[in-house]
Each structure stands twice: as C-alpha cells, then as structure tokens.
Structure 1
Amino acid sequence: MSDIINYYNQFDEWGRLEREPIEFQVNWHYIKRYLPPAGNILDNGAGPGKYSIKLAMEGYRVTLTDLTPKLVEIAKEKAEEFHLENHFSDFLVADARDLSGIQDEQFDAALMLGPMYHLQEEADRIKAIRELHRVTKKNGLVFIAFMPRIKHILTSLMYPENWKPNNQMKSIQQFNDTGSFNHQEAGRFTGAYYFNIEEIKPFMEAHGFESLELIGSNVASILNKENWDYWKDKGEQEYKNLIDLLIEKANDPYILGISSHLLYIGVKK
C-alpha cells in the first residue's frame, strides 16, 4: 500500500471534487435519497473528508477513517474550518480491511467511496466488505464506490500514453482479464482494481447485502473542457438543466460503462 499512500499524500482529492463537481453532486443526490433523517454514519476511506463534511452539515454524527494519515489530518482541519468538530465521533487512521478499532453494528449507514479502487486481491476485497458489514447495523445502508473495467479500457485506448503500460494491446488485454492496473510511471494513479459491472451486485449480495441501486457517478467523464465550456456559456439555468439530466440518467443501466465511477447502494440483511 505504500505507493498508494504516497500517491494520495501528493494528490488533491478535495480539489478534484471541487474542479469536477458532477461526481459529488450525483453521489450526494442518491446518498441523501436513501439516508435516514438522522443517525451515526461511517465514512470509511474518506480521504480529506468531502462527504463527511457534507454529512456533518446535514446534522449526522460522523466517524471518519482513512489509510493515509495526512488525509485524516486534512479532514480534521476541514471540520475545524467549518466549525463542525462536534458532529464527528472520531477521526481514525485505519485500513478498510481491518476496522478492529470499531465495535460491531455501530452505524445506521456507511460510505466506502475509495478503498475498493485499490484492493487487487479478491481476499482483500472480501475482508473490506465483511468489515463494512460487521460495523453496520442490521438494515443499515451502505454506499460503495467501484470503478468499471470497460471504462478504463476505453480510456486507455483513447489516451494510451497517459496510461502506460496500457499503450500496448497486450497490456490492455491483460488488464481486461485481471482488472488490476499498475501504472508504469512513478507518482501516478496505481495499484488499482476495476470491476466488471455485472459482477458488482452478485459480489455484494454474496457477502450479506441486498442491492438497491447501482448508478453511474460520473457519466459526464466523456465530456471534455470544450463541451463543458459550451454549456456553461449558455447560462446558469441551462447548466443546471444539464446537471439535472446527468442526475436523472445516473441509474440508467445502459450507460454505466461510460462512467468513470459507480456507486453501489445496498442494505445489510
């Protein structure tokens, strides 16, 4: 995990969600649709705490965890900046595969919007899901982010030099078979795992969850800067209409493969 920790030490994840707000807006729309009106929420693998802060602003009691100590510190600073410290139960440096510092069935809902990107071994993916199951209350909701394999194949074909070694068909075919991606260049997004879309719901259901929805968090990743500028120049209302359309279409199963991220919504049985 050292390469992954090093990557997130230097990567501005809070800024990414500010610069590319569609993913956050789509996810939040669906998270808020399903959340109970109040309760204890776990944000597991929270990064710098963008979702945690929003949850705290909405009045929820939040426990934040992340593997990267620097990001946990940033999350604490953000909570202080927004005067929300009293809405947080704890800030923990923790691996999603081992939440032994948290007792069973503590949370009315749990978010895990990052760890599944970086667990290349199936045994590790199962550990993380079982830990999330353990700490969530019966009938509690879970919101888990995945990355779709087909999208990364398409991205590699479009921008091969940005995704070495996927600048060779042999490497792309290997990725297609395994779902594991290790960037050839130091300091880039690496140690990643991408799911086949049709495997996500069965995987979750095999480990104690009932599936509610699977949505495309960012189908707009197919749009470039010129596309965005065009719609922004149309005015605030037209841009809002675009966002509303993307939210509406997010749960269309026919477009999940063009989204850079997916959000699974389920309930603990």
Structure 2
Amino acid sequence: MDEIQRWYDEKYDEWERLERHKIEFDITTRYLDEYLSGENLEIFDIGGGPGRYSIYLAEKGHKVSLLDLSKRNIEVAKEKSEERGISLEAYIHGNALELEKYEQKYDVILLMGPLYHLIKESDRKTAVENALRLLKPNGIIVASFISNYAPIQDYLKELYPIESVDELLGYLKDGKNEGDKGFTTAYFTDYKEARDLMNSFGLTEIIFAGVENILGSKEREINMLEECEYRKWLEIGYQLSQDENLMGTSEHFLYIGRK
C-alpha cells in the first residue's frame, strides 16, 4: 500500500489522466447519469483518486464523500472542488480495506479504483464486502476493473517498442503487474472473472460494460475530432460497450449492480 500511495503522491497525475482519456470518462459518466436515479443521493466514492467522478456527481446535487489512499489526490480534490464552487461532504485519506468506522447510510458506492490495485483475491473480496456493508438495501454499487488486455491495448495505441512479446502476453495468464513495470502494483482481470466476483455477493447485475471497446486504439484521433463527430463515435462506443464479443478490446470494465 505504501508503494501505491507513493505512486499517486509523487509520480502520477490521475486528474490529468482522465483529461487525456475522454472516452473513458464520457462513457462512464453516461452510465452514471443513466443508473444513479434520484436527487440528493448519499454517495461514498471509495478509492476515487482526485475526485473526478465525485465532483461530477456533486455538481449534480448529490452528497458525495471521497476516500483515497493518496494524500495528494485528496489535496487535488479539494483544489478542484473549490475551483468549481462546490464542496464534497468529506475528503478522507484512507484505505478501502479499512472501513470499519463508517456506517451503512449510502445510496450509492463507487469502487472505481481499489479493485485494480489489489493483487490478492482475498483483498479484492474484502474491498467489495466493506463497500457493500456501507450500502443501503437496494443501493447501487459501481465498480471498475482494468482489463488484462489493457497493457496490449496501451502498447498498440502508441506502438511502443516491445521488449518481450511473452511478457506482454503474460498479463493474460495471471494479471499481475509488479511495481517496477512502468505502473504501480496492479491486477488486470479477465471480464468473466470481474463479473463473477461482483455477482458472487448476491448482487443484481444491472450492467457490465467494456468502456472503451473498439474506440480505444484510435483514442488520440477521436479526441481531436470536431465535437459533433466525436459524439457520434462516442455513441457507437456506448452502444457496443455491452457486446461480449468486444470485451477484450477495452482497457476498463464497468460493473453496476444493486444490493
């Protein structure tokens, strides 16, 4: 956990990442708009980084509390909230595996970061269990995963030099990324494994989506299009996002379920 915290505190700008990856943000927020119904919802964003989604939902009038492992991310969330003239209910430096002091009061839980930094299956299960304990009956949980095809997609987008084909394909076998491989400690998952994990808790699945799908490898070019053309491709991506035939083309998976 210390290594992951240092990565986000000292090396990586998560706020800027979603500026670059507009497709991921725009398709994800479309799903949030569609399935988080109601006004003034109590939302707990667990592992929400610098609060891109927290702030988005707070601007819609919801009561959002943000928790993240990185102190720097929490500081950025405060700065960005102030810039937008809003305030989150709480800015918490904390750990998704240590939520004992929080109570069941939330209409929505976002778990859109922790599950792809937990190498051990037992820890991933604990993170989900902790989140569900805080979720009201009939509440909504939103969880994100990084696909085990994501490293390949990343290399393909930029056509990075490949030092080892076997190493790149190795993520399809165990999904583990050690902290010395260009990214912090992470776990990349098969979509069936991700889906089975969430449904093992007796949730009612609402959607399971491959967020970027076929748009991912042309992300840079799509981002540079005129707004009307960009929106057309975004619509295509959204409509294809639940096509199981295309799940491996996505870098991120999104699960929405009801308790």
User: TM-score when scaled to structure 1?
Assistant: 0.87
Aligned to 1:108: 107
Quote how far apart the aligned CAs of 1:96 are.
0.9
- Runs ≥4 residues deviating over 6 A: 157-164
Alignment of 1:1-80 (within 5 A): 1-9=1-9, 10-38=11-39, 39-80=41-82
Query: Judging changes above 3 Å, is the alpha-carbon distance between structure 1 residues 180 and 239 closer, same or farther for their aligned structure 2 residues?
Result: same
Question: Is 1:249 matched with 2:249?
Answer: no
Query: Judging changes above 3 Å, is the alpha-carbon distance between structure 1 residues 221 and 157 closer, same or farther for their aligned structure 2 residues?
Result: closer
Secondary structure, counterpart of 1:43 in structure 2: strand
**Letter of the structure 2 residue corresponding to residue 32 of structure 1:** D
Quote how far apart the aligned CAs of 1:159 are.
7.4
Aligned to 2:216: 221
Secondary structure, counterpart of 2:38 in structure 1: coil
Aligned equivalents of 1:32 and 1:101: distance in 2? 30
Is the CA contact (8 Å cut-off) linking 2:21 and 2:219 kept in structure 1? no
Aligned equivalents of 2:58 and 2:68: distance in 1? 17
Alignment of 1:30-179 (within 5 A): 30-38=31-39, 39-85=41-87, 88-103=88-103, 105-153=104-152, 155=154, 167-169=164-166, 171-172=167-168, 174-179=170-175
Quote how far apart the aligned CAs of 1:74 are.
1.2
**Letter of the structure 1 residue corresponding to residue 254 of structure 2:** L
Is the CA contact (8 Å cut-off) linking 1:133 and 1:208 kept in structure 2? no
User: TM-score when scaled to structure 2?
Assistant: 0.90
User: Deviation string for 1:118-149 (max 9, x for gaps)?
Assistant: 10001100110000110011110011001111
Quote how far apart the aligned CAs of 1:175 are.
3.3
Quote how far apart the aligned CAs of 1:27 are.
0.3
Is the CA contact (8 Å cut-off) linking 1:67 and 1:95 kept in structure 2? yes
**Letter of the structure 2 residue corresponding to residue 3 of structure 1:** E
Q: Which stretches in structure 1 are left out of the alignment for 5+ residues?
A: none
CA RMSD after TM alignment:
2.2
User: Deviation string for 1:39-63 (max 9, x for gaps)?
Assistant: 1011111111110111011000001
